[in-house]
Structure 1
Amino acid sequence: MIGSLTLDQLRVLVAIEDTGSFSAAGRRLLRVQSAISHTIQALEASQGVQLFDRSQRKPSFTPAGQTLVRQARQVLRQAEVFELTARAISAGLEPELAIAVDSFVPTPALMRALAELQQTYPDLMVTLFTEGLGAAQRRVRDGSTTLGICALLPSTLQDVQATELTQVTLVPVVAPSHPLASEARPLTRDILAEHVQLILTDPQQLPGPQFSVVSPRVWRFVDIARRLEFLLAGFGWCTMPLHLVQAHLDHGRLKRLEIDDPAVLPGSFGLYAIHDRHRPLGLGARALLASLQRQPWLGTP
């Protein structure tokens, strides 16, 4: 009950509109017509509003009644959502699921997994963070997100549980206007070191060894999309996930570098779903994790 208002009164009001009469509403709700009339009279008295015009043989909605029956439907829908959500939370569904995703994560597979989650738990609220290198792991460790989808950095702590989703192919690329694109010599480490390398960096990572950095001349980026823009403009060279640059390679906007010693740069990295092993996952997180594992991340579904 909300003040003197009850959900039962609203159900009766909506049933009258749905069925077209007091008697039909009574049949739907398995009540005698007099009980329906009494409920509506009590509702009108408690709210101080005439909902029906009774000047004719068959009562009809007043303008106020037409407005309030629409609001009654909304209240009943919200009450149903409230009950369903309460039952789901009682069964282990988290009220909200926060996810942190590295900026290079393939969007189509992520969206398919989230669509499955939405279909299974339509009232589950989701917050999605897309940030730079290292942010997903930090958010999982500090508890601000439940799941992270990211590449694992060497600094990953042991309290993170990681599930591999796929391997992401890396390719060294450069803009056609860049000097390396027309270099006739085999591209050795020394030649690469003569040119600016565009690298991704974690702005909060502690000082330490740098991985996959060949050149002493580097430009650092937090956002991979921004780095791609500078790459296309010819500011330097870098390795990029193949799925992010395939279209640029196909249309000649980028050129793949043929490196003399492929071991100089990694050919791929693992994409992982991570969570804090000390925090139990709710129903939503478990369902999403299972869906993420089923996805064809870099292929056609």
Structure 2
Amino acid sequence: MRNPRDVLTPDSLAMLHEIAVAGSFAAAARTLGLVPSALTYRVRQIEEALDVLLFDRSSRQARPTPAGTELLREGQRLLQDIDAVAHRVRRVATGWEPQLTIAIDGVISPHTILELVQAFYALHPPTRLKLRDEILSGTLEALTSGRADLAIGVGVNASNVAGLQLEVLGDSTFLFAVAPHHPLAHTPEPISDAHLLQHRLVAVADSAHSDNTSIGLLGGQDVLTVDSMQAKLQVQLRGLGCGFLPIAMARPYLEAGRLVARRVARSERNVRLHYAWKGSAKPPGRALQWWLEQLRSRATRIALLENHHHF
């Protein structure tokens, strides 16, 4: 018996589809420029390889059996996939990358990122996108380790990393915030470290594989560690802990009275954020070029840092 892979070729799938559309072997043979016996022989080869009957031959009409209907349906999908692969290969040959991976820090607006993704897909590029959520030095590590092609929201010093292209995204200011029912919402300001030490801090774990530290911890302080800024925000909204949040992320909740900003004795945190990619002798692919072009827009950079106003 022949191997199904030998008979299920694009040509044979197209032939079976033509038989189903024409309604008979004779009509399909005329359309395909074959003698009916040759067409019948080819169909029989496929049926023998699959060990199924594809067409009911009890009448003059060629009606697909349930097995034949399934093969026709899957065959059309396979033919479409082949066309899509051919299209993708042709586009990749014009300078588009097969895949672009973007590491995105937790302080970046997910809404703006998705708006950019939508605009990117409107180009109908062959490039597949992969988005990675990262925190602190993990955003940079994803790039330097080769797990990402572009990093947005790098807040650690990367100026000494060889082969890295770095541009300023903007500054992100963090304020100390608690839920209105949290005990620190009523503590006299500025709140000292001694007072902070008595309350649970909500921290975001560094996503770097080589580091699981967080920023802003006091020695001996109870800490609840989460793996994203959104989780940290939700925990603090419930009053389960206190901590610093980006002003832009906290603002709608401050305005709604669901968070209260508090002044602490320790200095306010202000972080300069960058976007980075690996430089090379040859120009970047067209997908990376497109993203870098968007990031050169001041309005886009501001939106990436400020557009958190969605509940």
Q: Using the TM superposition, name which of 140-149 and 160-169 deviates more.
A: 160-169
Structure 1 residue 23, shift from structure 2 partner: 7.9
TM-score of the superposition, structure 1-length normalised?
Answer: 0.74
Which residue is 1:76 aligned to? 79
Task: Tell me by how many angstroms 1:169 deviates.
Answer: 4.4
TM score, norm. by length of structure 2:
0.72
Cα distance in 1 for residues equivalent to 2:135 and 2:42: 56
* Equivalent in the alignment of 2:118: 115
Residues 192 and 215, structure 1, Cα contact 8 Å, conserved in 2: no
**Structure 2: which 5+ runs fail to align?**
none
Report the residue type matching 2:278 in the other structure: D
Cα distance in 2 for partners of 1:214, 1:33 equals: 75
The 3 A distance-change label for structure 1 pair 62 and 179 is closer
- Name 2:102's counterpart in structure 1: 99
Alignment pair present for 1:255 and 2:260: yes
In 2, the alpha carbon distance for the partners of 1:100 and 1:172 equals: 26
Residue 171 to residue 53, structure 1, CA distance change in 2 (3 Å): same
Code of the aligned partner of 2:280: H
| Displacement of 1:108 | 0.7
Number of positions where the alignment pairs a residue of Structure 1 with one of Structure 2: 286
Q: How does 1:34-73 map to 2 (within 5 A)?
A: 34-35=33-34, 37=36, 40-47=39-46, 48=48, 50-73=53-76
Query: CA, structure 1 residues 195+73, in 2 after alignment: closer, same or farther (shift >3 Å)?
Result: same
Structure 1 stretches lacking a partner, 5+ long:
none
Cα offset for 1:200? 5.0
Q: What fraction of aligned residue pairs are identical, expressed as a percent? A: 25
CA-based RMSD of the aligned residues comes to 3.9
| CA shift for structure 1 position 66 | 2.0
1:167 & 1:201 partners in 2: Cα distance? 21
Which string of whole-angstrom CA distances, capped at 9 and with x for unpartnered residues, describes residues 155-210 of structure 1? 5533322344454443332333455433455x2xxx43333274556474599xx9
Deviation track 1:208-258 (CA, whole Å, cap 9, x = no partner) reads: xx98x5967766646334543554455664331123223432332321125
What letter matches 1:75 in structure 2?
Answer: L
Distance 1:40 1:69 in 2: 16
Letter in 2 for 1:174: V
Q: Secondary structure at the match of 1:3?
A: helix
- Give, as a single letter, the amino acid of the residue that structure 1 aligns with 2:165: Q
Distance in 2 of aligned mates of 1:164 and 1:36: 70
Structure 2 counterpart of 1:276, one-letter code: K
